[in-house]
Amino acid sequence: MKLETMPHIGRIVPELADYGFREIIYQNYRVVYRIVDDEDIEILAVLHAARNFKKSLYEEWELS
């Protein structure tokens, strides 16, 4: 895989597709991030998979 495609390795978060957030699942955790530019990402959340994902994000980030 080429280096320039690495930020795109995660899938689009289904619950938040309108925002363009991506995620990588690691063991029991969802690592949610957004792509800042070609080489940088910003990690937005690391949540345990047992949590209600959409409820947690909307409450903590006040997305609407």
Per-domain boundaries in the chain: 3-61
Q: Rounded to whole angstroms, how far apart are CA atoms 63 and 39?
A: 26
- % the chain with pLDDT above 90: 16
Q: Note if the pTM is more than 0.75.
A: no
Average pLDDT on 8-22 reads 85
The pLDDT assigned to 33 comes to 92
State yes or no: pLDDT of 3 exceeds 50. Answer: no
Mean per-residue pLDDT over the chain, rounded: 78
The residue to which tokens 């994000």 are assigned: 57
What's the whole-number mean pLDDT along residues 29-55?
Answer: 83
What's the pLDDT score for residue 42?
92
Grouping H, G, I as helix, E, B as strand and the rest as coil, residue 36 is coil
> Taking the alpha carbons of 52, 56, 11, 24 in that order, is the dihedral positive or negative?
negative
